[in-house]
Amino acid sequence: MKPWIEHLYIATFVLAAVVGGLVGCADISLSTVARDASGSGQGPYVRVELDQGLVTVSRQGRTLPQATSRLQVGDEVETGPDSVALILFRDLGEVMLLPNTRVRIGSIEVFFGEVLARVKGLFTASSQNVVAAVQGTSFSLTSKNGAVRVVVAEGVVQVSPRGAGWSAQRLGAGQAITVSGGGDARVGSASGFEMARLRTRFDVLRQAPRQGFCCVGGSVQPGQSDQCPSSMFGRTADDTQRACRAAETGYCCKAGKVTSGTAGDCRADQFFRDLQLANQNCKAVPDGAREVPQRPMPVKVN
């Protein structure tokens, strides 16, 4: 295997203010992690929390106990066989890691796997022997079994060898280049599947339901955000249990009168599950006292 095939770099530049191939002024974050049941990056996706262990982050040679959202130059991020991740470069663009992909931040150095990128401004992909200069575009890069493939969906990519071997190639939308482990380059057309994935995967990932818990019939069950009303979904069991209690139906005592309602609609000491018990214990609020309704605790859903 050629040495330049082993490490392929995607370097992001901000008005050329980059030193040594590292991003100089961009905030970098691991913004989204999702489970991909297909294991191919095609979905369907279910977004999960970073502590689910589907993605690992290594820093200074050590794997962090839990993936972190805020990434640093030099961090290495790796997706598992059934997970995808989205790395966001603020004001620059975003890079999506498909299953079984490992990269290093600074900007992106691809060890193996496949990444999809949507970027603004100047974006440069390079290896020891290859430079791909990109101008505001959408493209994918795959490093697998000793070969590298670049597919362009939008914009223009200028792919050049650092040394001798093959002539520089200018790729437009719908074109692709494959460089073999032996260093041979071949330009052709991108497949319909490759083009569709570049155009849709980012939006599909963002619109994917979130994994968490649902309040169903008063009980908390594991579920997804698309499987229950938004007010009855929580990212943790405790959050969902509080929403469940607030939504429990029964009877409220307000100003000495019994009305049907939920636990979140009235004070805790003025809520009754049984109508007879409510009628027996409902008393008017003394003059000067205020009856403050207890609203359901909101459940934050990103």
3-state secondary structure of 147: strand
Residue 224 and residue 197 in one domain = no
End-of-domain residue from the set 206, 236, 251: 206
Q: Which residues lie closer than 8 Å to 267 by C-beta, 6 or more apart?
A: 291, 292, 293, 294
Q: Is the pLDDT assigned to residue 290 strictly greater than 80?
A: no
Percent of the chain with pLDDT over 70: 76
Residue 162 and residue 238 in one domain = no
Length of the chain equals 302
pLDDT recorded at residue 16: 27
Quick check: is 299 in a domain? no
Residue 110 and residue 186 in one domain = yes
Residue 166 and residue 267 in one domain = no
pTM given for the model: 0.73
3-state secondary structure of 276: helix
Residue 202 and residue 66 in one domain = yes
The model's pLDDT over 169-215, given as tens digits with 9 standing for 90+, comes to 899 999 999 988 777 889 999 999 999 999 999 999 989 999 888 88
Number of domains within the chain: 2
Average pLDDT estimate for 2-16: 35
The model's pLDDT over 218-259, given as tens digits with 9 standing for 90+, comes to 778 888 888 887 677 887 887 777 777 777 777 888 877 888
Question: How big is the CA angle at 119 (ends 193 and 71), to the nearest 5 degrees?
Answer: 105
Which helix (H) or strand (E) segment holds residue 84: the answer is: strand 83-89
pLDDT recorded at residue 245: 72
* Residue for token pair 């636990």: 263
Residue 301 — pLDDT band, cuts 50, 70, 90?
Answer: very low
Residue 148 and residue 247 in one domain = no
Q: What is the CATH number of the domain that holds 80?
A: 2.60.120.1440
Q: Is the pLDDT assigned to residue 18 strictly greater than 70?
A: no
Residue 132 and residue 258 in one domain = no
Tell me 231's DSSP state: G
Average pLDDT estimate for 252-268: 76
End-of-domain residue from the set 206, 237, 272: 206
pLDDT recorded at residue 124: 61
pLDDT recorded at residue 132: 67
Q: Which domain holds residue 218?
A: 212-281
Residue 159 and residue 268 in one domain = no
